[in-house]
Structure 1
Amino acid sequence: MSSDQKKILIVEDEPELADLYAVWLSTEYSVDVAYGAKEAMTKADESFDVMILDRRMPEQPGRKVLRKVRDAEYQMRVAMVTAVEPDFDILEMEFDDYAVKPVSRDDMLELVSGLIDRESYTELVNKMYQLSEKKALLEERKNQRELSNNDEYQQLIEELDAITDQVDQKAGQINTQQAFKDL
């Protein structure tokens, strides 16, 4: 297993289903399983990139696990994968995606891949804003000649242009994925 491999935590009280999801996802990710809410809260930490979370579990509902994860400010993306049809109560829940069971292997892989893509998009946008802020500050304080003659400023412009292109590409990919999902 590669150290940069994304980590997934599956929280599902039906062991057979949890294990099936783990088999599906372990082909591409490092996977851990929690067979209920209590176990999830002992395993969940900042090291996980994505949590697949069942909404209806006997010992504690998934929405409470979700609330604890958000209160702990873990940066993981959370997808509710549940037999519960969405209703207006989902407006109060801070999940990143929602899928209604049954889900296929392809659906599960696409769900996790989409969440990871959004994570990388967020990182790129943050970097773009950081560089944009530096550029704006320098342009406010320096004249055009000073800017033109400074190699570091020119590198900043090149890096900002490259990241802006990456952000545009990612946004296009995410929009395309959403369009296919909507179909």
Structure 2
Amino acid sequence: MSTQPTILVVDDETELTDLYATWVGDSYDVLTAYDGRSALEQLTDEVDIVLLDRHMPDLTGDEVLEEIRRRGHDCWVIMVTAVDPGLDIVALDIDDYVTKPVTRSQLTRIIDTLRVQSRYLQDGRRELQALSNKKDTLEDELTMEELEGTETYQQLEDELGKLGESLGDGFEEA
């Protein structure tokens, strides 16, 4: 039995799925799925991280994510997708959101960061980090003018502030 973490790579672009699998295959056990249904068939408690495309023809990444969480899987989920992020990502139960194209170093850095965080992120800190990642993604994609006037962004900032305060880590909004 392997002691390496397991990553499930899900993308309907087979070449991209295989490329990502090659990139992480030396450090992780890798499963690949070329559509949402086969991803759910391969999902077991052994899966630690899911790299999930958002736009697929049979089941969308959002639907796959919803089913992953409905089944109670607590794996890390990173959306790796060509879909530009919008305020709707705030409602997604994901740990990070990356817009394609992604480089090998970007992908491995994100995965490695999540693995390190998983050792330390307890008692809501994982949620804090996921919210912070979403905020960073939105701020990279949209202007502050586009964000600040929205109720969703304000709720995200409020939630980050409250969660940071409750965890006592000194997290403050810039």
Q: TM-score, normalised by structure 2?
A: 0.69
SS at structure 1 position matched to 2:8: strand
Corresponding position of 2:22: 23
SS at structure 2 position matched to 1:51: strand
Amino acid at match of 1:45: T
Corresponding position of 1:109: 108
SS at structure 1 position matched to 2:47: coil
Amino acid at match of 1:100: T
SS at structure 1 position matched to 2:54: coil
Corresponding position of 1:99: 98
Whole-angstrom CA distance in 1 between matches of 2:116 and 2:69: 20
Correspondences of 1:29-48 after superposition (within 5 Å): 29-48=28-47
Corresponding position of 2:3: 4
Which consecutive unaligned segments of at least 5 residues does structure 2 have? 124-128, 141-174
Q: TM-score, normalised by structure 1?
A: 0.66
Q: CA deviation at 1:118?
A: 2.0
Instruction: Write the deviation string for residues 4-29 of structure 1: whole angstroms up to 9, x where unpaired.
Output: 10100001100000000000000211
Q: CA deviation at 1:101?
A: 0.1
SS at structure 2 position matched to 1:109: helix
Corresponding position of 1:155: none
RMSD: 2.2
Whole-angstrom CA distance in 2 between matches of 1:121 and 1:109: 19
Q: CA deviation at 1:50?
A: 0.2
Whole-angstrom CA distance in 2 between matches of 1:114 and 1:91: 20
Which consecutive unaligned segments of at least 5 residues does structure 1 have? 127-173
Amino acid at match of 1:66: L
Q: CA deviation at 1:82?
A: 0.2
Number of residue-to-residue matches in the alignment: 129
Q: Select the structure that is richer in helix.
A: 1
Instruction: Write the deviation string for residues 66-103 of structure 1: whole angstroms up to 9, x where unpaired.
Output: 01111111121000000011001112110000000000
Corresponding position of 2:52: 53
Q: CA deviation at 1:121?
A: 1.3
Amino acid at match of 2:60: P
Contact 1:49 1:116 (C-alpha < 8 Å) held by counterparts: no
Correspondences of 1:127-166 after superposition (within 5 Å): none
Amino acid at match of 2:117: R
Q: Which runs of 4+ in 1 moved over 3 A?
A: none
